[in-house]
Structure 1
């Protein structure tokens, strides 16, 4: 999950631009909390790492994207543009909610600036409003031009995220090799609805194939720590119905279930 060179077509989710952080260009600037990120509030799924599967599973369904490299995703909505956990400014509606590391990393990330080099540089999205000539906030660099403690903390978090991304890639590769991923489908039949609402377009672990794994494969999965990750994913799928209920409650569910707006007096 290491980010590629910051060419516009390859920009990752949420990022509208990337700028390398340097003492020359940003030596006098500060970092402060993002006041709003509306693009997050209209995003229904965020990449997830295996390091946070257990925490994520308590709040969100964890599914896998379709494609040759099925990235794990934490669902915050069942339809494009719908997020029932973040408001229109991209801020959590519940202070006790666990926020995916991908979202907490924004607006920073490690990126390859030069295509001919594997070296990763700390970059940020200049449109985020988190870095600038502010009166408040924490300095990015000390007076001697060295990274401040705040910048070191950001760099450390981004490095941990990259390492977690590599473990996640290895986990998905093991699932693919074992043939455990299948096309997912969830049917939800709300009370009073004539037909169930069907959600597809994702992948999930095939429980039948998991039960039929050979003993040596199952033992390998257990010893490597992959089995608890699989179970966290499977247990999290029950959150899909909770997610559906949240959408309906917020008026973001299927049109057939939305309450009619009261007529103007």
Structure 2
């Protein structure tokens, strides 16, 4: 069973990647689950710009730090804390689930480093794929051809890649106009020093206001301005996320009242 090249770091959630093959995986099935165990200790999840309108209702949307920034949803304010997923992987409140999460354990990847072609790969360590007994799960292959379930998975992954390209263009525009700054979010709970969160980037509203009118007009027409404001408005949810994890006993110790 050939693994994907290991010289490249594996993406979030994935412990291994292998090319999905009708020879190697002829009897494999995929199954659905209502428990996202791979998500329970993860507080940041990548987003595409197409998801901003829905994601901003549940999560603060920020951007990863350093070069090559990309959008991320904050599902918890502290590393290793997910305020929406319990220890058994159950989602504890109705939310929009990011496509990055729903894609797992599948992924389009370049099997050959020098090739531009993307192939459907899977994490073989996941309990969502394998040789399941009885009628559990949906076959990935019908003989030597992909099954309908496999075709649907491939289509979803292809759509995700297209959304990723749109996201890269959005990020390039932000970088071109130097709109991203190092972010800082402060939560004052009273009775002591506020909790400070850093290590991410956000749009600089002052620079946004200073942009030329023709640029803002173009962004308004192509929808980019709406995406920026979805990001900015979503930051109001920071206190809600913090309160959720404190109520669940997952937050940092609160200062004692005098």
Q: TM-score range by the shorter chain?
A: over 0.9
- The C-alpha deviation readout for 1:190-216, integer Å capped at 9, x for no partner, is 14x222111111110111111111011
The residue that corresponds to 2:215 in the other structure is 217
Q: How many residues are aligned here?
A: 251
| Bigger mean CA deviation after superposition, 243-252 or 27-36 | 27-36
| Bigger mean CA deviation after superposition, 37-46 or 68-77 | 37-46
Partner Cα separation in structure 2 for residue 93 and residue 257 of structure 1: 27
- The C-alpha deviation readout for 1:161-206, integer Å capped at 9, x for no partner, is 0000111011011001011111111111114x22211111111011
Offset at residue 27 of structure 1 (A): 1.3
- TM-score, length-scaled by structure 1: 0.90
Structure 1's unaligned 5+ residue stretches are 259-265
Q: How is 1:186-197 mapped onto 2 (pairs within 5 angstroms)? A: 186-191=185-190, 193-197=191-195
SS state of the match for residue 126, structure 1? coil
Residue pair 1:44, 1:78 contacting (<8 A) in 2 also: yes
The residue that corresponds to 2:137 in the other structure is 137
Partner Cα separation in structure 2 for residue 257 and residue 109 of structure 1: 44
- The C-alpha deviation readout for 1:91-141, integer Å capped at 9, x for no partner, is 3112x2110100000000100000111111100111111121112111111
The residue that corresponds to 1:55 in the other structure is 54
SS state of the match for residue 63, structure 1? strand
Q: How is 1:18-37 mapped onto 2 (pairs within 5 angstroms)? A: 18-34=17-33, 37=36
Residue pair 2:14, 2:105 contacting (<8 A) in 1 also: yes
Residue pair 2:62, 2:71 contacting (<8 A) in 1 also: yes
Q: Does 1:74 align with 2:61?
A: no
Offset at residue 90 of structure 1 (A): 3.0
Partner Cα separation in structure 2 for residue 37 and residue 105 of structure 1: 12
The residue that corresponds to 2:175 in the other structure is 176
The residue that corresponds to 1:16 in the other structure is 15
Residue pair 1:37, 1:128 contacting (<8 A) in 2 also: no
Offset at residue 223 of structure 1 (A): 2.0
- The C-alpha deviation readout for 1:199-236, integer Å capped at 9, x for no partner, is 11111011111111101111121122100100100010
Partner Cα separation in structure 2 for residue 9 and residue 117 of structure 1: 15
Partner Cα separation in structure 2 for residue 243 and residue 256 of structure 1: 15
Partner Cα separation in structure 2 for residue 120 and residue 90 of structure 1: 30
Partner Cα separation in structure 1 for residue 76 and residue 41 of structure 2: 9
SS state of the match for residue 239, structure 1? helix
